[in-house]
């Protein structure tokens, strides 16, 4: 009998929905205090992380309510928010059209 693996779930800071970790976009505050969008395949950058669903509605809710700032316990710079928006748009386009999927 095949072993059933547990899928790690994370909560979106924008809408509060629980989704599989690999479907989310992770933003991380490194131990040095930098804020980055974690684009590594397995979300392995060290530091405190927050997750956003790859939907513009979730990103806007997280932005308006300053939920990323609270989750990371630091003010998220505008440049990082712009990079996050690009990543969300890219992943949403992949999910919609299947373009660029491995």
Q: What is the pLDDT of residues 27-70, one digit of tens each?
A: 999 999 999 999 877 768 899 999 999 999 999 999 999 999 99
Where exactly are the structural domains of the chain?
10-96
- Please check whether residue 8 is in contact with residue 16, taking contact to mean a CB–CB distance below 8 angstroms: no
31, HSE (Cβ side, Cα atoms, 13 Å): 2
Q: What angle do CA 36, 38, 41 make, to 5 degrees?
A: 165
pTM of the model: 0.86
CATH of domain 10-96: 3.30.1230.10
Rounded distance, CA 16 to CA 78, Å?
22
Q: If you average pLDDT over every residue of the chain, what do you get?
A: 90
CB atoms closer than 10 angstroms to residue 62: 27
Rounded distance, CA 48 to CA 85, Å?
19
pLDDT at 18: 97
């Amino acid at each position: 009998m095949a072993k059933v693996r547990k899928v790690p779930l994370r909560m979106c800071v924008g809408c509060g929905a629980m989704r599989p970790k690999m479907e989310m976009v992770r933003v991380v505050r490194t131990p040095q205090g930098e804020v980055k969008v974690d684009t590594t395949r397995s979300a392995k950058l060290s530091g405190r992380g927050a997750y956003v669903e790859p939907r513009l509605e979730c990103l806007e809710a997280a932005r308006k309510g300053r939920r990323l700032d609270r989750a990371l316990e630091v003010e998220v710079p505008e440049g990082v928010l712009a990079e996050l928006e690009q990543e969300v748009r890219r992943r949403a386009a992949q999910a919609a059209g299947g373009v660029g999927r491995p």
